[in-house]
Chains A and B, each alone.
Chain A
Amino acid sequence: RKEVEQDPGPFNVPEGATVAFNCTYSNSASQSFFWYRQDCRKEPKLLMSVYSSGNEDGRFTAQLNRASQYISLLIRDSKLSDSATYLCVVLNYGGSQGNLIFGKGTKLSVKP
């Protein structure tokens, strides 16, 4: 089983739609969780951290379910500029020297 698994998509949605991405991780000792965004032919950039209580940043909401080892990202009122690949990321302290483990990403395409 891969350490971090995501549905690769693509998710094709109209502007204004709400879309949700899911991610599962295999290491129950994982301690920190993130969503990164990667635009086409660009480097990944941190979108938001994911906290146990869930957190929101504008139109973006991240949730963590430790019991199910599951992370989600919800995007409301999608914009054309949200088109990108979203990477689920897990940080394992004390494991592989604190390396971030990246999922392969979920591609989102928002259409007019």
Chain B
Amino acid sequence: GAVVSQHPSRVICKSGTSVKIECRSLDFQATTMFWYRQFPKQSLMLMATSNEGSKATYEQGVEKDKFLINHASLTLSTLTVTSAHPEDSSFYICSARVGVGGPGDTEAFFGQGTRLTVV
């Protein structure tokens, strides 16, 4: 299957600083990428949908000014956690959709995730 790469896989940052997480589709163009967050022992929660060249669409309850998403090219989306605090510590995962449409038409592939720890 297609490959989605996330970087970094782990990051530790100080409270108050910002952290950028990259999600790249290595061998296909992704017009849409999705960002998820996973708390320990809980589900992956969709945070936002990122469309190339346009503003991201955030799910209810997700602070768009805190979690800045940029999808500047068909192969790269970035999530920046601004002014990070310990409660932002979590596992962040992106997925990239091949082509358009839903599960009946296409596939989405996941990155390996980024473990963020804010100290």
**Do A and B share a complex?**
no
Q: What is A's interface to B at a CB cutoff of 8 Å?
A: none
Q: What is B's interface to A at a CB cutoff of 8 Å?
A: none
